[in-house]
Chain A
């Protein structure tokens, strides 16, 4: 278990008993008291080594999204309110430095974080208990509208995460390890789960005139092996945003747009 400082600042604590009322009034000097105690549970964290491995896989498969940049994103797995109290720290030995997160709880690898730091045990640690956070690789090509994703970006996220960054929680099957050794794991539909920005009711692939609305099996971890995949990383608070992609179908080009039909969108008019 990690030990992290729990600091309680107590102001205006009397340094000595209050003087008798008869004596001239004098304010006791303010004191700052620090109490350090072990945290009751382990914090949700990833090693710097994992994140650097994700970057190496990102570099290796960069052709899937040549103009994209790499970031990491934190999601609340169990309680959406956790996002409001989420903080991230770079931890090395006894040093602890806060890492800024953007409005989507994303951060990038700092240039000064090196493999040597990773070898010395550096980690990225949240202030939330282990299991509270889903860590995802976040890869975005420029020019993609906010409400869409580019398929090549998502394929690259899978390559950088699965068995490289290894950010998804849970067990890894021996079969998936064999596939990964051949760089074939991200050619399987259930290799990676993604989370949309909002609760979704449908996902559609669009490439020119070609269009495919994914069967419900690809949404919400609903059926088949993709439902079993939920056993490996079951982020209950994110279930209504969860989707898989037909990674086995390589006929879709990397520039394919992934469109989301939100639960809050109105019912479309029936086709004439």
Chain B
């Protein structure tokens, strides 16, 4: 029984990694294209609450100026959460996987000013 545990664990891990995707937000990024994004994200008008309602909460970076960026990421090939697991994430985050990202810039009043969306294959970085 004990000897089977590593095997079972390996099967579970392999299963989780073999399919699925990882995403930041509520998962709508998987289907979102540039036309939909342009309709949803209107500079000078769209608010943070509206974005949160539509896409979920992105990863926030706040700047000294009061501006914020919200970052959404959709990556194929790995089930959600694995990129965030210590040590395992160091491996999964460096796998060459199709990736779509959306970055939104808000001003200090919480109103959308800019957005950009692009798709790319993850470029693994070795890091110093």
* B125 pairs with A248, CB closer than 8 A: yes
Selected from B120, B125, B128, the residue in CB contact (under 8 A) with A224 is B125
* A239 pairs with B64, CB closer than 8 A: yes
Chain B residues near A185: list those with CB within 8 A. 128
Whether A188 touches B125, Cβ cut-off 8 Å, given contacts A199-B63, A222-B61, A224-B93, is yes
Chain B residues near A254: list those with CB within 8 A. none
Q: Interface stretch among A11-19, A36-44, A212-220?
A: A212-220
Q: Interface stretch among A21-29, A127-135, A171-179?
A: A171-179
Whether A199 touches B123, Cβ cut-off 8 Å, given contacts A191-B128, A263-B113, is no
* B101 pairs with A216, CB closer than 8 A: yes
Asked if B31 is an interface residue, CB under 8 A from chain A, the answer is no
Selected from B38, B59, B64, B105, the residue in CB contact (under 8 A) with A201 is B105
* A215 pairs with B67, CB closer than 8 A: no
Within 8 A of B (CB), among A240-272: 240, 246, 248-249, 261, 263, 265-267, 270-271
* B127 pairs with A224, CB closer than 8 A: yes
Selected from A201, A220, A225, A246, the residue in CB contact (under 8 A) with B114 is A201
Query: Size class of B's contact patch?
Result: 20 to 34
* A190 pairs with B64, CB closer than 8 A: no
* A199 pairs with B65, CB closer than 8 A: yes
Chain B residues near A222: list those with CB within 8 A. 59, 61, 69, 71
Asked if B126 is an interface residue, CB under 8 A from chain A, the answer is yes
Please name the residue on chain A nearest to B126 by beta carbon.
A188
* A225 pairs with B105, CB closer than 8 A: no
Chain B residues near A225: list those with CB within 8 A. 125, 127-128
Contact count A vs B, C-beta below 8 Å: 85
Query: Size class of A's contact patch?
Result: 35 or more
Distance A216 CA – B116 CA, assembled complex (angstroms): 10
Distance A173 CA – B128 CA, assembled complex (angstroms): 7
**Minimum C-beta distance from B1 to chain A (A):** 40
Distance A270 CA – B113 CA, assembled complex (angstroms): 15
Distance A271 CA – B126 CA, assembled complex (angstroms): 34
Please name the residue on chain A nearest to B89 by beta carbon.
A224
Within 8 A of B (CB), among A179-201: 179, 185, 188-191, 199, 201
* A236 pairs with B105, CB closer than 8 A: no
Whether A270 touches B34, Cβ cut-off 8 Å, given contacts A215-B123, A224-B125, A249-B123, is yes
Asked if B99 is an interface residue, CB under 8 A from chain A, the answer is yes
Chain A residues near B114: list those with CB within 8 A. 201, 263, 265, 267
Within 8 A of A (CB), among B60-115: 61, 63-65, 67, 69, 71, 93, 99, 101, 103, 105, 113-115
Distance A165 CA – B63 CA, assembled complex (angstroms): 29
Selected from B59, B93, B118, the residue in CB contact (under 8 A) with A213 is B118
Asked if B25 is an interface residue, CB under 8 A from chain A, the answer is no
* B127 pairs with A190, CB closer than 8 A: yes
* B128 pairs with A179, CB closer than 8 A: yes
Asked if A223 is an interface residue, CB under 8 A from chain B, the answer is yes
Asked if A160 is an interface residue, CB under 8 A from chain B, the answer is no
Asked if A226 is an interface residue, CB under 8 A from chain B, the answer is yes
Please name the residue on chain A nearest to B69 by beta carbon.
A220
Distance A228 CA – B63 CA, assembled complex (angstroms): 17
A contact set with B: CB distance below 8 Å: 173, 175-176, 179, 185, 188-191, 199, 201-202, 213, 215-217, 220, 222-226, 228-229, 236-237, 239-240, 246, 248-249, 261, 263, 265-267, 270-271
A-B contact pairs, 9 of them (CB 8 A): A175-B128, A191-B128, A199-B65, A201-B69, A201-B103, A201-B114, A215-B99, A239-B64, A266-B43
Counting from the closest, the 7 A-B pairs by CB-CB distance are A225-B127, A176-B128, A189-B125, A240-B63, A267-B43, A188-B128, A216-B103
